[in-house]
Amino acid sequence: CWQSIVNEYFNGPEDARSKIEFVISTEPTDGGIYRGHRGRMEIRVDMHGVSCHGSAPERGDNAIHKMAEVILNVRDLNENPADGSTEINGLVKMLDPKFNPEHYEDARFLGRGTCTTSQIFYTSPSRCAVADSCAISIDRRMTAGETYQSCLKEIEDLPACKKYAKDVKVSMYMYDRPAWTGHVYETECFFPTWINKETAPHVQALVDAHHNLWGDKRLMPTELAASKREGRPLTDKWTFSTNGVSIQGRYGIPCVGFGPGAESQAHAPNEVTFKQDLVTCAALYAAVPGLYKPENKDGSATSFRQELTGNDIK
């Protein structure tokens, strides 16, 4: 959506950045002001084998069995520690300055990266034959300091992928599903991490507006909301992903979040939004433009995107 806006409504990223001061995402923030979140990407692993009759499986090369080893490695990559006690260092390593010296503090704020096997596919001549191919999808959540290149290489370097190197292919998915109009806007399934400093002027404008209107604590319109918001910092981050991955993560247009409802309610079958949140958010949106100080812009939103996301995909 935002890629289309930037490239078709505006004349590319530079034109968009010159005309858009900043964006407020209205995704649910549970009464908080959110200054970033992890990125994500969708990875595919293909494994090739050789089929044969199931009565003599030793004559073939079972792609599912080989992929099973990869799947266990993916689990280990997500769950292992990073203290050198295991063959595969876990993704928690990015919270350690030894592995992520420049960005470990941002990674600790955003949260560690994760990976999980989300889909599995196979081909086989029949139910009584050895499978000759197998593929999996991996949902990869990325923290500060990780790029799409580094995430692909982590999978390529898994012991099972190295063991079956001649039969395995690691790639990134492309998104090419038609819109309701039939238009296809092809893009990589890579959605970059983004984060702002607490002192960034567009973040500070929301903090100042909230302070002037209601003080320094999250508003709690109901007892249910209070049970989720009590004690949480006013300035925080999302766990899930938003359009900020394109707005700031891909294009460097400053973005910050303040929206009605709770993140934990998103996509739930009995989702609710507190009506008072709608009033609260509307009031803050009206107050922000008068408190924003563009002279304090430091370019950090753009530089973070360029330096940390490896955003040179064509």
| Confidence class for position 306, pLDDT limits 50, 70, 90 | very low
pLDDT in tens, 166-218: 999 999 999 988 989 998 888 899 999 999 999 999 999 999 999 999 999 99
Q: Examine the pLDDT at 300 and tell me if it is beyond 80.
A: no
As a whole number, mean pLDDT of residues 277-304 equals 86
Per the confidence metrics, is the pTM higher than 0.85?
A: yes
Domain ranges of the chain: 2-38+193-308, 40-175
Domain 2-38+193-308 has CATH 1.25.40.80: no
* Average pLDDT of the chain to the nearest whole number: 92
Q: Structurally, what CATH architecture does the domain formed by 40-175 represent?
A: 2-Layer Sandwich (3.30)
Q: What is the DSSP string of the chain?
A: -HHHIIIIISSSHHHHHHH---EEE-S--TT-EE-EE-EEEEEEEEEE-B--BTTSGGGSB-HHHHHHHHHHHHHHHHH--SSSSSSS--GGGGGSTTT-TTTHHHHHHH---EEEEEEEEEE-SSTTB--SEEEEEEEEEE-TT--HHHHHHHHHTSHHHHHTGGGEEEEE-EE----TTS----EESEE--EE--TT-HHHHHHHHHHHHHH-SS----SHHHHHHHTT--SEE--SS--THIIIIIIT---EEE--SS-GGGTT-TT----HHHHHHHHHHHHHHHHH--GGG--SHHHHHHHHHS-----
* Residue 314 confidence (pLDDT): 35
Percentage of the chain lying above the pLDDT 70 cut: 95
pLDDT in tens, 41-86: 999 999 999 999 999 999 999 999 999 999 999 999 999 999 999 9
| Fold match flag (2-38+193-308 vs 40-175) | no
The larger pLDDT score, comparing residue 100 to residue 305, is at 100
Q: Examine the pLDDT at 311 and tell me if it is beyond 50.
A: no
pLDDT in tens, 223-236: 878 888 888 999 99
